[in-house]
A and B are shown apart, each in its own frame.
Chain A
């Protein structure tokens, strides 16, 4: 069998930038595929991904769910006889995939380099600031008022009962950012799913699951598995990451619930009962959840931060912007969020408003850059895990003839 391989030099260069510069060390002994606790018998990784990357065969890699099934626990890197760091290389391939599938491509490209950091911070910083100017809410409240309304009149206040001014501005900022992200991810996952299906080499499929069946059979079991952190726990050399990642993930879920609650009480019930506006009481169980989540978030990201720094110091991981950017963003959200709340409680409106502004900037960053940064793994990996179930299902495998 002959094979015409056209190496893609741009791809190999992108690998090097994203921390996969050890790629060329690999001599295909396949120790990594056995070391990896997540790699299956029938479709092991990352050995195959290593040679595809060496050959610059990005089309195969972009259609390979294994790339996203990897949790980068580092077991393979630990045992690699050549120091090729397969864990880091797969991370670099994922970074490349987020950039490749990311829409709009300019924004995706922006997220690949530390050189663009001023711009990456600048976009949300200017957006929030300009909207603050437009809103005309540009004044620092008195201590008394601050204690009463907190940050709920950051963008000012009007008497239109159905939609608070502050809510409108926050929605404009955050829902736009999130909207772009959701649309981008929808496009990306659809394209990737198509490529992954094509890559199975079984031709056109006769039957497809309905959306409901897809969620029930493939997506929901994957989500349950993710929450349980079962695969993460399989890792051996880097167990500490579970201790950081699990509280962090639960914090995000907690804060998501709080946001939904707050949205509902303030912006729906608040229409009828105006007293629902303003900060939630500290004794409200939801507020308790919010505070616990905020602390869990800081603890989680702190553990991950230290863990990563230690791994890099020990030469077991490569220092990349791709890895650090997400850690910085999440730490930023957590610190500014909690600091803004504390400043509200101690009643320092001026500093409180500055910190709250930074909080809005960091939250917008997290939303806007979701599809292009390491944060995208929450969507890509979930769907890769769903695909892993899908390819083993009767939709793909003929249960009678295979």
Chain B
């Protein structure tokens, strides 16, 4: 038996804002905690946002303090690029097989950047949804934690790999690194696996791939972020035009039984937030929001009022069901305005699809989890499997924090 079995050790799967919160809460009351993330960095979706609710903070604001708490806490061990392969046992005595994908950069890395400078091959930047190219030896983003480079070995030629290896003064590049598996004994597991933006290309009628002027709301976050591909300037992908008009297409993939049946909860608010980004840069831009219902729960109502009063922003009750790419680089969105009962064909420079949250965990049932009809993980503390944040339901950061603290409280009661 491992020294951690029966000692109330907690495995936290997914190190976004929910996982970090749960891990810290559990560790700070004295439990051993393992937190893993499939990405080469922690911070999850929040790290990709320009600003996040409720206070429109930049992600550094919340993540930095959590990373510091995590680094300072001897009770937490963190594993990036790691996923769960199998779970056996029961509450108080789980055996979990994990797998760490090769990073090809070892812990000698000081993030000096010499490898990136030497690297000749490029990849689509995954952190920025492919909106720019980066070197195949890269730091995922400026505030990446752990602060260590990643080498996309498959994208590199042999010469490139040799150059990268030669450039590193610290002998940190290890092109022979293999996938590693290891086993943990834990008492409970918190699943905070978060979400992925729904695949916009699956929504046939919105023709996401027909024009670079059609972007998703997460791409908009990157365009507006200072550390994004345009250094924070909202420009149309493809031709870098300063857009004079925008259309927001709400419920793109959400509340739709052909895609995701659930309401993704935050997309209406995300759109209001992104209107604020646009207003900051383009005070005169025309903005059209096409919606079924505007859902601004609780205190978000006042945030909504601020923008419904904006005279250059038009709200149209009717879902966009067709988008036509235009020759000038813009697009025309088509909807029926249900209040006037007329069809609207609105030409805009840029179109933002408010794609919803798709639960990121796909093999939940194989791992012994109960998954609801929409793919969210049902929290079952009696089975030692607790879900938190957006793995449990589509929620905002604030609610994720609450559910993560609650999950930590459940987790520490198991195996004691």
Task: Report which A residues bind B (CB closer than 8 A).
Answer: 27-35, 39-44, 47-48, 79, 81-83
Judge whether A30 and B338 touch: CB under 8 Å: yes
Q: Least Cβ distance of A8 to chain B in Å?
A: 21
Contact partner of B321 (CB less than 8 A), chosen from A31, A40, A41, is: A31
B56: Cβ under 8 A from any A Cβ: no
| 22 A–B contacts from the bound complex (CB under 8 Å) | A27-B255, A28-B338, A29-B255, A29-B292, A30-B319, A30-B321, A30-B336, A31-B321, A34-B321, A35-B205, A35-B321, A40-B343, A41-B343, A42-B342, A43-B341, A43-B342, A47-B341, A79-B321, A81-B251, A81-B258, A81-B259, A82-B257
Q: Least Cβ distance of A391 to chain B in Å?
A: 15
Task: Report which B residues bind A (CB closer than 8 A).
Answer: 205, 251, 255-259, 292, 318-322, 334-336, 338, 341-343, 345
| Chain A positions within 8 Å of B334 at CB level | 34
| Chain A positions within 8 Å of B341 at CB level | 43-44, 47-48
| Chain B positions within 8 Å of A81 at CB level | 251, 255-259, 319
Judge whether A27 and B292 touch: CB under 8 Å: yes
| Chain B positions within 8 Å of A83 at CB level | 257
Judge whether B335 and A34 touch: CB under 8 Å: yes
9 closest pairs, A vs B, by CB?
A34-B321, A81-B256, A30-B336, A33-B336, A29-B319, A41-B343, A31-B321, A30-B318, A29-B292
Q: A40-B343, A41-B345 are in contact. List 6 more A-B contacts (CB 8 A).
A: A27-B255, A30-B336, A31-B321, A34-B321, A39-B343, A44-B342
Judge whether B292 and A44 touch: CB under 8 Å: no
Name the residue on B nearest A28 (C-beta): B338
Q: Least Cβ distance of A55 to chain B in Å?
A: 14
Contact partner of B336 (CB less than 8 A), chosen from A27, A34, A79, A82, is: A34
| Chain A positions within 8 Å of B322 at CB level | 34-35
| Chain A positions within 8 Å of B251 at CB level | 29, 81
Name the residue on A nearest B322 (C-beta): A34
User: A41 and B292 in contact (CB under 8 A), knowing A29-B319, A30-B335, A35-B321?
Assistant: no
Q: Least Cβ distance of B340 to chain A in Å?
A: 10
| Chain B positions within 8 Å of A40 at CB level | 343
Q: Least Cβ distance of A364 to chain B in Å?
A: 43
A319 to B243, CA, bound (A): 50
A29 to B319, CA, bound (A): 5
A28 to B345, CA, bound (A): 18
Interface of B is mostly: loop
User: A79 and B258 in contact (CB under 8 A), knowing A30-B338, A47-B336?
Assistant: yes
| Chain A positions within 8 Å of B343 at CB level | 33-34, 39-42, 44
| Chain A positions within 8 Å of B255 at CB level | 27, 29, 81
A33 to B334, CA, bound (A): 10
| Chain B positions within 8 Å of A32 at CB level | 321
Q: Least Cβ distance of A85 to chain B in Å?
A: 12
Name the residue on B nearest A31 (C-beta): B321
Q: Least Cβ distance of A44 to chain B in Å?
A: 5
A82 to B251, CA, bound (A): 13
A82 to B254, CA, bound (A): 11
Name the residue on A nearest B258 (C-beta): A81
Judge whether B319 and A79 touch: CB under 8 Å: no
Q: Least Cβ distance of A128 to chain B in Å?
A: 49
A218 to B114, CA, bound (A): 78
| Chain A positions within 8 Å of B338 at CB level | 28, 30, 47-48
Q: Least Cβ distance of B216 to chain A in Å?
A: 18
Judge whether B257 and A79 touch: CB under 8 Å: no
A43 to B251, CA, bound (A): 24
Q: Least Cβ distance of A261 to chain B in Å?
A: 47
A34 to B333, CA, bound (A): 10
Residue of A28, A39, A44, A81 ringed by the most chain B CB atoms within 10 A? A81
| Chain B positions within 8 Å of A82 at CB level | 256-257
User: A41 and B319 in contact (CB under 8 A), knowing A34-B334, A34-B336, A79-B205?
Assistant: no
Judge whether A28 and B292 touch: CB under 8 Å: yes
Contact partner of B318 (CB less than 8 A), chosen from A29, A35, A39, A43, is: A29
Name the residue on A nearest B292 (C-beta): A29
A365 to B265, CA, bound (A): 55
A44 to B334, CA, bound (A): 12
Name the residue on B nearest A81 (C-beta): B256
Q: Least Cβ distance of B271 to chain A in Å?
A: 16
| Chain A positions within 8 Å of B321 at CB level | 30-35, 79
A348 to B338, CA, bound (A): 64
A33 to B341, CA, bound (A): 10
Name the residue on B nearest A39 (C-beta): B343
A32 to B321, CA, bound (A): 8
A33 to B336, CA, bound (A): 6
A42 to B336, CA, bound (A): 10
User: A41 and B342 in contact (CB under 8 A), knowing A27-B292, A30-B335?
Assistant: yes
Q: Least Cβ distance of A13 to chain B in Å?
A: 25
Name the residue on A nearest B250 (C-beta): A29
Q: Least Cβ distance of B358 to chain A in Å?
A: 15
Q: Least Cβ distance of A60 to chain B in Å?
A: 12
Q: Least Cβ distance of A381 to chain B in Å?
A: 22
| Chain B positions within 8 Å of A47 at CB level | 336, 338, 341
| Chain B positions within 8 Å of A30 at CB level | 318-319, 321, 335-336, 338
Name the residue on B nearest A47 (C-beta): B336
Residue of A29, A31, A33, A35 ringed by the most chain B CB atoms within 10 A? A29
Residue of A30, A44, A82 ringed by the most chain B CB atoms within 10 A? A30
Name the residue on B nearest A41 (C-beta): B343
Residue of A27, A31, A41 ringed by the most chain B CB atoms within 10 A? A31
A34 to B321, CA, bound (A): 6
Residue of B251, B256, B259, B320 ringed by the most chain A CB atoms within 10 A? B256
Judge whether B336 and A44 touch: CB under 8 Å: yes
A34 to B341, CA, bound (A): 12
User: A31 and B319 in contact (CB under 8 A), knowing A44-B336, A47-B336, A47-B338?
Assistant: yes
| Chain B positions within 8 Å of A27 at CB level | 255, 292
A29 to B257, CA, bound (A): 13
A27 to B292, CA, bound (A): 8
Q: Least Cβ distance of A245 to chain B in Å?
A: 25
A43 to B337, CA, bound (A): 11
Q: Least Cβ distance of A11 to chain B in Å?
A: 21
Q: Least Cβ distance of B339 to chain A in Å?
A: 10
| Chain B positions within 8 Å of A35 at CB level | 205, 321-322
| Chain A positions within 8 Å of B320 at CB level | 34
A293 to B319, CA, bound (A): 45
| Chain B positions within 8 Å of A79 at CB level | 205, 258, 321
A39 to B251, CA, bound (A): 23
| Chain B positions within 8 Å of A33 at CB level | 318, 321, 336, 343
Q: Least Cβ distance of B341 to chain A in Å?
A: 5
Name the residue on A nearest B253 (C-beta): A81
| Chain B positions within 8 Å of A43 at CB level | 341-342
